[in-house]
Structure 1
Amino acid sequence: MLLTADDPPPFRVLRESAASDLVLTADHAGRAVPAALGDLGLPEAEHARHIGWDIGIAGVTERLADLLDATAVLQTYSRLVIDCNRDPSWPSAMPEVSEYTVIPGNKDLSAPAKAARVAAIFTPYHDRIRSLLDARAERRSVLVAMHSFTPSFKGESRAMQVGMLYNKDPRLARILLDLLRNEPDLTVGDNAPYAITDDSDYSVPTHGERRGLAHVEIEIRQDLIADADGQNAWANRFARLLTAADAMLKAADQADRR
């Protein structure tokens, strides 16, 4: 077993019996590394960077769950151990290089070593999301995948403060894009700084698209949520916007059924 009693569990669930239709996930909320893997051959400064986790998104998601009375599932471990928003068979799931940083602890991993990370972290996290959604099968659920992005990646600066990501079902993303564009002083990304595809993401295609749930992936720029004040501000903003957007989505769905 990769994880011992001294390691944290692979996920946290907040407000399991919450009233909201919205279900929040945070694939990169934590940056823990199992004790058995040491530091993956990296100094602390590298683990603290965006390559290790989505800076600030745990605080935003926790606060947003409280404001919305929404269930949230937050993943605990560093994306350098295993990226829970990638299919485990993809090279990017346990990268040997992230941005420009070589990850010595991921070099030439054996099949059993990879399988241990999947079994200990990836599978329990996604099984928990799956079981929560299964338990809500008789009620309406909307998946909101929470992420953050670095202001600069491989020398490319990102001027946008926030992005809405989608693929096969853009309904909720388009509503939120309209609402965000009405906010003062925001530059908003439409499927930017990333776009969801079957080859780039795991969570939204698996828990949103395949279930037929309305969904959106939210990306917030990390420098805006690096401290508690920023996290609270953006959680308050999205509590307001998601409430409005979900009401509009629900009304549109009801109109379509008439």
Structure 2
Amino acid sequence: MIAPVEILNGMGQGRVVLLCEHACHRIPAVYDGLGLTEADSLSHAAWDPGARSLSIELSRALDAPIVASTVSRLVYDCNRPPEAPSAMPERSEQIVVPGNAGLTQSQRDDRTTAVYEPFCAAVANVLDGRGPETVVVTVHSFTPVYFGQNRTVELGLLHDEDSRLVDAMLDHVGRLPHRRIERNEPYGPADGVTHSLRLHALSRGLPNVMLEVRNDLLRTDEQIAVMADEILALLQPALNDIAIREDES
């Protein structure tokens, strides 16, 4: 049996902890494919293409542990609380999810217990064993076309109430003049996407950022390596900046 969560480089000693809630499109057999076509079960609705591989590249550079879900977000989206309809969506963009239609509370509770709670427990286990200098970075990708609309943003830096790390990263965007980088795009807190940041980082007072990378920039190993380097060009000096500010305060 495959566990619903994996921890990679769990003994990493870097300051950053990486979370990848949508790392996998796997639908456990018990859910009978959720009634999806094969194409839909492999689409961006089911996972964040390239996000796990990007997390691994960042982990190598930062010596960062990774906590990643091994279950499709259409079974349970680990970046949503159990009470949110989008935790087990009946529809994702234009894809209908038959296996999520009319779920009973008992069925929802079963998925919460099977997928969400182990993920949260793994994150807590990693974070609770570390010091207050820890930084939480969640890694996601997004589709370049959403409801028929092209998205021009290439890298989104998302935050909730704590913008320390995003502010510091944006101070260095001049290092990437070719890249379209935006704050809280293509999603933001109002869209409910900062659940993990709030639950795991804000609750512990840890600086944090949610990375959203347009997935057409993550299609090959070479592209993923380039994007990792570009993110590091913002993240590494930002980590130094906030460390200095914390020492001065």
2:135 alignment partner in structure 1: 142
Q: Which of residues 170, 183, 189 in structure 2 aligns to 1:177? A: 170
CA distance in structure 2 between the aligned counterparts of 1:113 and 1:230, rounded to whole angstroms: 40
SS of match in other structure, 1:208: helix
Q: Which of residues 95, 102, 111 in structure 1 aligns to 2:96? A: 102
Matching residue's letter, 1:142: V
Decide whether the 8 Å contact of 1:198 with 1:205 is kept in 2: no
Change (3 A) 1:238 1:139: same
- Pairing of 1:202-241 with structure 2 (within 5 A): 202-241=195-234
Change (3 A) 1:57 1:170: same
CA distance in structure 2 between the aligned counterparts of 1:205 and 1:217, rounded to whole angstroms: 11
Q: For structure 2, list consecutive stretches of 5 or more residues without a partner in the other structure.
A: none
1:33 alignment partner in structure 2: 27
The superposition leaves residues 83-137 of structure 1 with CA deviations (integer Å, 9 ceiling, x where unpaired) of 110111111110111101111111111112111111111100011101111111x
Total equivalences in the alignment: 249
Change (3 A) 1:199 1:186: closer
CA distance in structure 2 between the aligned counterparts of 1:192 and 1:221, rounded to whole angstroms: 11
CA distance in structure 2 between the aligned counterparts of 1:187 and 1:239, rounded to whole angstroms: 16
Decide whether the 8 Å contact of 2:7 with 2:66 is kept in 1: yes
188-197 or 25-34: bigger deviation: 188-197
CA distance in structure 2 between the aligned counterparts of 1:200 and 1:243, rounded to whole angstroms: 24
- Pairing of 1:1-258 with structure 2 (within 5 A): 5=1, 8-136=2-130, 138-197=131-190, 199-256=192-249
CA RMSD of aligned residues (A): 1.4
How far residue 197 of structure 1 moved from its aligned partner, in angstroms, is 4.5
Fraction of identical pairs, as percent = 35
Decide whether the 8 Å contact of 2:27 with 2:72 is kept in 1: yes
Change (3 A) 1:107 1:87: same
Normalised to the residue count of structure 2, the TM-score between the two structures is: 0.96
CA distance in structure 2 between the aligned counterparts of 1:39 and 1:165, rounded to whole angstroms: 32
Q: Which of structure 1's runs of 4+ aligned residues deviate more than 2 A? A: 196-201, 236-241
Q: For structure 1, list consecutive stretches of 5 or more residues without a partner in the other structure.
A: none
Normalised to the residue count of structure 1, the TM-score between the two structures is: 0.92
